[in-house]
Chain A
Amino acid sequence: MRPLKIIVLAKQVPDTRNVGPDAMKPDGTVNRGKLSTIFNPDDLHALELALNIKDRVAGSEVIVLTMGPKRAADIIREGYYRGADNGIMISDKRFGGADTLATSYTLVKGINKLAPFDLILGGRQAIDGDTAQVGPQCADKLKIPQVTYVEEILEIRDKEIIAKRRLEKGVETVSSTFPCLMTVHGSSPDCRSRHAKKVMKYKYARTETELRSADEMLISLHQKRPHLTIPEWSVEDINADMDKIGLSGSPTKVKSVESVVLTSSEAKILSDSDVDIENMIKELIEHHTIG
């Protein structure tokens, strides 16, 4: 089996499991400064799938690609700690405010710079937006096949890859030619933990931006060990069209955000008679709760 070049799309997201009262600004946008950030959980599953393929196909390369602000460099470091071979940041203030369309455009520009590749893996969706659109949009723009909801890679052959998809009512086995894009479901195996020696090796990995405010020790270390410098791509580096990135490339406009608080109303007590059960089922179907 020939080695594969695998790109993992990863996003730094606010830790929505630990949200405080000031997580949102009055205008409805996320107050990122007030939230701790994490590696998007589904993307960690994608990273594990990529590393698993690397374990199975010797010589394969795993590259973590992320788009985000300066501090998203943590995602690249985390990728290195867990076994990624390379990491690239797409970071430029002008990319800010992107919706899924502008994001997929930007990522595809980055991916093209890394071409040729065999496989792109990303999480099914990110916990901040929950859109699940970026992966499929990238595949569409790259004009390559896409397989969503992947749980397991069953087989890797020279010209095709066979994956198991986790669907709502069962599993589906599909095969795709290379190159292709897959989005990975949270039911796939958890990502392996950080590796001791990799943490030791990469803990000083920094982007060029980070290096600008670093001390001399770190700068001279990067001169000695160039692999520690994380490449950082700007608008010009990926040759992006200004109209298609950031806010101006994003047709999605948030009109308003409401905080919906569900209040429980009075409970209805039903007997176990056939009539009561039948009425309840009818009501649930009418309200589209079931069916």
Chain B
Amino acid sequence: MDNFFTDTPDFKFHLEHPIVKKIVKLKERNFTESEMYDYAPLNHEDAIDTYEKILEIVGDICANTISSNAESVDVEGPHIENNEVVYAKGTTADYKALYDAGLIGMSLPRKYDGLNFPLLPYVMAAEMVARADAGFANIWGLQDCAETIYEFGSEEQKEKYLPRFNRDGATAAMVLTEPDAGSDLQSVKLKATFDEKENTWKLNGVKRFITNGDADISLVLARSEEGTTDARGLSMFIYDRNDHAVEVRHLEKKLGIKGSPTCELVFKDAPAELVGKERFGLIKYVMALMNSARLGVGAQSVGIADAAYREALKYAEERAQFGKVIVKFPAVYEMITNMKIRIDALRSLLYETTRFVDISKVYEDVMNDRPLEKEERMEMKHYMKLSNVFTPLIKLTASEACNKIAYDSLQIHGGTGFMQDFPIERIYRDARITSIYEGTTQLQAVAAIKGVTTSVFLEQIRSYDAEVSEENQILKEKLQEMTSKYEETSTKVIETHNQELLDFHSRRLVEMAGNIIMGYLLVLNAQRDEKFSKSAKLYVNLVSSENNEMYDYINNFEIENLELYKLEEEKVLEEQL
């Protein structure tokens, strides 16, 4: 039987990272829960064995149910019936399979019927689901909303909503975007008013582009402070679908991820519960929600990239032209090997980031039980700092790379790939959204550039460098050279104190740092497992030339040229007329 977990040994490898021991111990409160729950792990080895066994179930469902349904889901898509969303038949079957296997609410504490999984195995599951069907991955991945209720909701709300995920298979949605509030969420208008008579909040207004908008439980960003126009007037609410006060007016017709319903919603006096405190909606809760969603898109992108790579490899090994299978031609095997090494690199960055987020989150959670020791507090802060810049970094790099990999995979399929005969046609379309939603690549650069300006990336690079052993001296020197060029050029830009210039080069600088980080991660992987040696070597060579190109461009860039890039105002106006 095919299995997406067992056919990808990298998952096991990334679960075995030394720091995971700390994460699991904290998450399991030193394994004390096994006294209360007969399904809680007894020790670290038991926990890891459990993760692997559960991921094997996910891998089975992905390989044998979700991926087999992907094509029909793409063709059929969801539709509206009586103002409600009806999923494609395959989508319902996929969700049921995961629900029946107890895989909804994986990271929730046992108290709320969850599996109490750290993020690491959960994100691995998300990667596999996305490899099977990227559109479906959204519906399943929105269980992230439960995390947000857990973090910021009242105890009453937690008890009311959280057990519904695992017990009833509740679906969720994050309802943020509006027609005039996309990347700029500060301008959200949906109105929340407190109804004194009924003693509840009421929501009124329109939301647009809402993934899985007709979910059982929705987290809604709304303006609770009348007369305000900025972020500080926004609060977050829980809306329960059982109240039947939201109409699905329209489903978008899309390029890809067609199985995932993208809804226009009309809230009509919809009763809702405030989450946490008023006015903290965008500045605190949505930011947290977004960060986990961005990590989710990172996982989705790696899953899509892996699916595209495997399709390319399969096709190239079967397709013969000029008397031999096309995988034997340098032009083809180069593309395929580059896909593979990039996936190895991205996956390493994805799980490195996940571990950072895991540690900082688990410390936050432990703080609910006991005060942290001084050392623990410092560690939490350290990993938070890393999470804040690594999360946009993985979102940016993985989403862009999965588009490139899907592009190359379709290219390898030739004309056939352009037809709807092979899965790559769907995968190529599905990939496109990853660099747009949950914050575009350009916005990820704005968030990740802080890693450049505050030297968080550089410090982390240095700490990786200290771990590289002598046998990898050649690669180490190459990476050190890349690092010094990165340092030189980023300092140069920062020291101009010209914000516009920094914005202009931010993506390049972030990508340079990302390439170095992934290079180091592969070298360190190779130190733990030989099989990464090839990827480490080829990847460092590949990105060192990429970085040189960016280095040259930034170094030779004349500030005055910035003006030449700008479109003259008159010209823009003329065009608009």
Contacts and interface: CB of A to CB of B under 8 A. Distances in A.
Contacts of A194: 57, 101
Contact of B39 (A201, A217, A221): A201
Interface stretch (B48-56, B203-211, B503-511, B513-521): B48-56
Interface in A201-248: 201, 203, 217, 221, 225
Contacts of A201: 38-39
B384 interface: no
Q: Which of A195, A200, A225 has the most CB of B within 10 A?
A: A200
Contacts of A195: 100-102
B60 A193 contact: yes
Interface string B93-109: 00001001111001000
Interface in B50-107: 50, 53-54, 57, 60-61, 97, 100-103, 106
Contact of A196 (B38, B40, B57, B97): B57
A43 to B, nearest CB: 16
B42 A196 contact: no
A288 interface: no
Contact of B102 (A196, A203, A225): A196
Nearest to B103: A196
Given A201-B39, A203-B49, A193 B100 contact: yes
B448 to A, nearest CB: 35
A196 B54 contact: yes
B109 to A, nearest CB: 13
Nearest to A217: B42
B42 A199 contact: no
B115 interface: yes
Contact of A197 (B41, B42, B60, B115): B115
A196 B121 CA distance: 13
A51 to B, nearest CB: 10
A192 interface: yes
A56 B21 CA distance: 43
A192 B100 contact: yes
Nearest to A17: B1
Q: Is the interface of A mostly helix, strand, loop or mixed?
A: helix
Contacts of A221: 42
Contacts of B115: 196-197, 200
B42 A193 contact: no
Q: Which of A195, A197, A199 has the most CB of B within 10 A?
A: A197
B38 A193 contact: no
B58 to A, nearest CB: 9
Nearest to B110: A197
A193 B49 contact: no
Given A200-B39, A201-B38, A193 B54 contact: no
Contacts of A192: 100-101
A96 B106 CA distance: 44
B167 to A, nearest CB: 11
Contact of A193 (B40, B41, B101): B101
A193 B57 contact: yes
A198 B38 CA distance: 10
Q: Which of B38, B60, B106 has the most CB of A within 10 A?
A: B38
A203 B53 contact: yes
A196 B41 CA distance: 13
A225 B526 CA distance: 42
A165 B502 CA distance: 73
A193 B58 CA distance: 10
A193 B50 CA distance: 16
A196 B49 contact: no
A221 B103 CA distance: 26
A193 B61 contact: yes
A217 B31 CA distance: 14
A203 B53 CA distance: 9
Nearest to A221: B42
A198 B115 CA distance: 11
Interface string A89-122: 0000000000000000000000000000000000
Contacts of B40: 200
Interface in B197-222: none
Contacts of B100: 192-193, 195
Contacts of B41: 200
Contacts of B60: 193
A200 B60 CA distance: 17
B65 to A, nearest CB: 8
A218 to B, nearest CB: 10
A195 B50 CA distance: 12
Interface string A173-201: 00000000000000000001111111111
Given A201-B38, A217-B42, A221-B42, A193 B53 contact: no
A204 to B, nearest CB: 9
A214 B100 CA distance: 32
Q: Which of A198, A199, A221, A225 has the most CB of B within 10 A?
A: A199
B260 to A, nearest CB: 23
B50 A200 contact: yes
A200 to B, nearest CB: 4
A198 B100 CA distance: 11
Nearest to A218: B42
Nearest to B102: A196
A198 B53 CA distance: 11
A81 to B, nearest CB: 9
A221 B40 CA distance: 13
B297 to A, nearest CB: 24
A104 B424 CA distance: 52
Contacts of B97: 193
Contacts of B38: 201, 225
B63 to A, nearest CB: 11
Given A193-B101, A194-B101, A225-B38, A199 B53 contact: yes
B49 A197 contact: no
Interface in A23-68: none
Given A192-B100, A203-B49, A203-B50, A197 B39 contact: yes
A192 B54 CA distance: 15
A203 B60 CA distance: 18
Nearest to A227: B38
Nearest to B55: A196
19 contacts: A192-B100, A192-B101, A193-B101, A194-B57, A195-B100, A195-B101, A195-B102, A196-B54, A196-B57, A196-B103, A196-B115, A198-B39, A199-B50, A199-B54, A199-B57, A200-B40, A203-B49, A203-B50, A225-B38
Given A199-B54, A200-B54, 17 more contacts: A192-B100, A192-B101, A193-B60, A193-B61, A193-B97, A194-B101, A195-B101, A196-B57, A196-B102, A196-B115, A197-B39, A197-B102, A197-B115, A200-B39, A200-B40, A217-B42, A221-B42
Interface of B: 38-42, 49-50, 53-54, 57, 60-61, 97, 100-103, 106, 115
By Cβ-Cβ distance, the 6 closest A-B pairs, closest first, are A200-B39, A196-B102, A201-B39, A195-B102, A193-B101, A197-B39
Interface of A: 192-201, 203, 217, 221, 225
